[in-house]
Structure 1
């Protein structure tokens, strides 16, 4: 069975229709953001443009080429089944597929994150260790299989700048969960195109304003060397700034732990019951990329191409190419611009982030934070009131600090590169 699934996975690397190598990524250029101010990820402000489509093949070409060659040559002396172990085990586990399918009927976000963590991301990762945000989980059991969940503190960042909790931690990646694709306002691309100049029809997203062609019709020239891009506008709210802030902050943290990852595109994910998208940031070159929305399901079965993409991203340290910067500069592809925006605060992101976040309890619960701007001190009574409030605030913060200092190290150790 494993051998058959090995062949199926390779076939998806060779298919011309919906193949893995041609799955699309678009670069993101940040115009403005609030990374220099104290802000939770959920309140992140990012004004951005998207465009310049590139294929997934750009980032994983050596590994994909090797697999394609082995598929074509069919050398019986070459054994690489162990490379596919996580993937083939996932595809042949019919019981896990049935449990994961229950995510399509889940009503609560806590149910979504539990099922997706336990039955999608963990089985595809080299290590099944994961953390689900304990502040959102309503139960210690997975609602699909009733097995015990790995719950914990998923906070990270810097208390004075971008910080907060992600829904799932898996390996060196984060996962933001949404009920539908509109929750991410994610990018979806046309079938045509390869790396090249910006499309004449790509859309810009600027602080809630949409420009360009409609999401239903996108022009694409058959002979063009560029990709046409459309961006879905979610009028109820745009969660991409939150995903971008998590992706960038997480990439800096992981790079600070392992210098060999600084010039890789460190991925994070957005996932719904139906689709998943990959978001990647390269700390050394300051480049941010977002994939198209990729369907998880094909009827009642997996969209194997999407599963392969998620598997590749989760194993980025092993499989991803270090793309030469000239591949981007020779085509004038703009950088993410994050380093320029944060300026002299860049060392904070490079060296002073933490996971879990220090004093995370303070930011994960109803804060005791007395805003005394309203208090006009005009009398001895109002002065005493202000002093009492300040004293209570100081005592509370000291208690939180003592609690965090005694907190144990997370149950996994990812210090190894």
Structure 2
């Protein structure tokens, strides 16, 4: 007897989702509560668990299809006792195990088992997914896995097989012509569509302006180097730079409340709390979970929260409620090597802080040219609500706190 697999409740006001990935193929043995599919909503990916143990039946929908809450997407057939009870005699589940073997041995090589974003990365980098070890949940490939494999691939692998060691005078275009030119059309994920829509709405609605400053990271770097081992030993989390910036931002937001405010109709809404949205890279795109009441957290508490967000973003287990709200956003493009950018506001917020890479630059201190680790800061803001004076004052307050971390301790 077959058991239907239904789309679960996805969250308040969420009525539909897109099938992002099938984690189990027809014939695979499935345990009760084992994820069999991944659905993409406007904010996060949601895994669909199997209601019973058995064997994966037919898929009722395909990757990329839009499904409604409560809709049937697959069936689980009776059998496959090995999935529910590994200690049972192997002979009882041999047919199911044999049917599952081709997928279980090399899931990365099956294009159907790759999410659209990973398939796109495989094509862009020209790597064989079956040779890559996945670091995602249940060993699945992520975009980061593909990029790392491409970076590690020997340069010689890009050369045509027929090109000998003395091919300097050969026809360099022959290999490219022989390999052909390929294109693939991949439907935008629901998450990417939502990101595109919201960012474009922000540009169309807000009177957006970006103000820059730079900050000397010497003091924070020295403090981190001095205390990172003790910090990790006591709190169980690594001491990074984001803890300092989030804490400094909450202090600056308290002094400049307009930067923490939002516009609703013809009213300005001021917040006496700082819910900081932190942009985190996930396999299917950028997600922005929220650190609630960040003004009440210590640097250790902030680092623990960010670390947890990062891990669960990679696993695809962030919850809807964790993505809602937020009064101010911090985006750290520096981890990818960005030197400078003009970040886009996350509506209905009125400002976003962009952090960038740290690099040594010559600066003047006490009349002497010295080399310091410097970072550019960028504050994009809605000029309808925030004046230039307030934006500059906010950046200066943030700069002062980072260059003299003692200010964070004494709330100055």
TM-score (norm 2): 0.21
Greater strand proportion: 2
- TM-score computed with the length of structure 1 as normaliser: 0.21
Structure 1 or 2, whichever has the larger Rg, is 2
